Structure 1
Amino acid sequence: MDIRFDWTFDRFCEYVVDCGLEHVELKMEYVHGHPDAPDPETVAERSDAYDVTVTYHAPFRDWNVGSFNEDSRRASVEQVNSTLEAAATAGAGAVVVHGGSVPYRYPEYVRERARDAARRSLAECARYAAEVDVPLCLENQPQSDSNERHTTSPDDLAAMLESVDVDDALGVTLDVGHARVNGFDWRTFADRFADRIHVVHLHDNDGVEDRHEPLVEYESICESVDAPYNVFEMKRVPDIERCLERNQLPSE
């Protein structure tokens, strides 16, 4: 559920089930922005009623776990931990998190401080994830012309995981669209991180821009990775049906 969706949680669950699907990922931007967004207790109740599983996506706008401003970094950790708490209450299976960023134009000593901030933040969040017993899953990010993002390649993602590993409390979200736009085959990530992948984000692009377009050839990816949760990460609700090669929205 993206912030661009104006649907209620119940309506979206009905839609998902009508499409023959059985999972919903809640982006915290949607939770923060929608006037009728459900609290975690409601998510638990309604997801059980619709027989769908749930994951959460920690905020990724307006915050940065890799901030070199210590106050901002701590606030970002609090945002992730708050998402973990919501996920635990809702009975969610995982929380997706981004690995932070810093502008390329800043001096190298600032960028290194930002990398260290990201490592410290993710380690703190991973420890809390272990406490509340919800997997925290670090996502491979798309590259940016303006910002250094810390998990865009398999090597960078592996280095971040190794540097913050807390008894394997930090898992992986494989985003196949981000892999493609960065010039990597999704199999490179799948082979390298294997059992650490808890969530797969499914979308497509032209290899140039991170468009989050429908991905029709998704079944082989899901079968190969065999992650607990697979998510069509679309910008528009009808694009979910385009992934499924359907043409009509369900009746109201």
Structure 2
Amino acid sequence: MTPTMHLDGIPSVKGRFPFRVGTTSYIIPADILPNVRALAPLIDDIELLLFEIPEMTNIPSPASIRELRQLAEENSLSFTVHLPIDLQLGHSDDDGRLQSVNACRSMIEATANLEPFAYVLHVDAFDTTSREPTPAADIASWTENVSHSIADILSTGVSPRHLCVETLAYRFEFLDPIIESFDLGVCLDIGHILLYGFDLDEHLDRYLTRTRVLHAHGIRNGKDHRGLEHLDPTARDRVLQALSADADTPRVLTLEVFSEPHFTSSMRTMHSLLPAEPA
């Protein structure tokens, strides 16, 4: 077993908030397992960022899955699984669409023994010409194609509310018919909502009851996935208030950053926001 790499000087927030706090599996420059070993004492959940391309894959082997499960049991840890970001679930070409579906299915099946808290799903857009934030020029066809893809993914047996569709650069309401038809979960990406100029309160009011995962990250100089100190404090506090007010519903707030400096500053920000200890 590879020796554990330590993240020194970072305050733990494990079990300290009325919701789970997580981060990604790419904080230190290493593979998934070393990241999980280093992060497990500090947080409640780790988002496994998985990919599979012809040249390589980072889907954990059965032996790695067993070790990840053991680490989870020893550290009161859960996992969310971020399915590939370059999916074509709404594509009109069935071959391309099914290739994306099969990538999701293989990752869900490979990680099933981890009993993931959620699977985060990108339903990407195909209209690059419109000035409006729409996902496709032909919304009806796009909706039909995405619906076929979702049905195929759910045939793995994953719970619909555990398949959480993420807010991206287009108006999320275009997904409403699909979300409601399949009773899907939602991943509210707070950074995306703010970066693309959408209304945070409207998204919280409309989707929080379906939301199982939230992504939090800062925006600096037009770039997202920065440290949490660069997230608008009003928006940050609004999210924490909403989560705390509905603490009986299991949720994870993922600090979606990808480096040790951004993780360190984000954790210090979260530590400064800890609820007061009972007298």
| Shorter-chain TM band | 0.7 to 0.9
Q: Which runs of 5+ in 2 are unaligned?
A: 1-23, 131-135, 270-279
Structure 2 residue corresponding to 1:9, chosen from 32, 38, 62: 32
Give the AA of the match of 1:51: S
Cα contact 2:195–2:224 (8 A) shared by 1 = no
Q: Secondary structure at the match of 2:253?
A: strand
Partner of 1:196: 210
Partner of 2:263: 240
> In structure 2, do the counterparts of structure 1 residues 197 and 68 end up closer, same or farther at CA, with 3 Å as the change threshold?
same
Partner of 2:201: 187
Give the AA of the match of 1:244: M
Deviation string 1:107-162 (CA, Å, 9 cap, x unpaired) is 945x653443223212332x336x24471000011x2xxxxxxxx32422424423
Partner of 1:146: none
Give the structure-1-normalised TM-score: 0.76
Give the AA of the match of 1:28: L
> In structure 2, do the counterparts of structure 1 residues 239 and 4 end up closer, same or farther at CA, with 3 Å as the change threshold?
closer
Q: Which runs of 5+ in 1 are unaligned?
A: 144-151, 247-252
Say whether 1:229 aligns with 2:225.
no
Partner of 1:53: 78
Deviation at 1:189, TM superposition (A): 1.2
Cα contact 1:58–1:83 (8 A) shared by 2 = yes
Q: Say how many residue pairs are matched.
A: 227
Cα contact 1:85–1:132 (8 A) shared by 2 = no
Whole-Å separation in 2 of the counterparts to 1:9 and 1:219: 31
> In structure 2, do the counterparts of structure 1 residues 78 and 35 end up closer, same or farther at CA, with 3 Å as the change threshold?
closer
28-37 or 48-57, which deviates more:
28-37
Quick one: percent identity of the two aligned structures? 21
Give the structure-2-normalised TM-score: 0.69
Partner of 1:212: 225
Higher-Rg structure is 2
Partner of 2:116: 92
> In structure 2, do the counterparts of structure 1 residues 235 and 10 end up closer, same or farther at CA, with 3 Å as the change threshold?
closer
Structure 1 residue corresponding to 2:50, chosen from 1, 5, 28: 28
Say whether 1:136 aligns with 2:163.
yes
Whole-Å separation in 1 of the counterparts to 2:167 and 2:266: 22
> In structure 2, do the counterparts of structure 1 residues 223 and 83 end up closer, same or farther at CA, with 3 Å as the change threshold?
farther
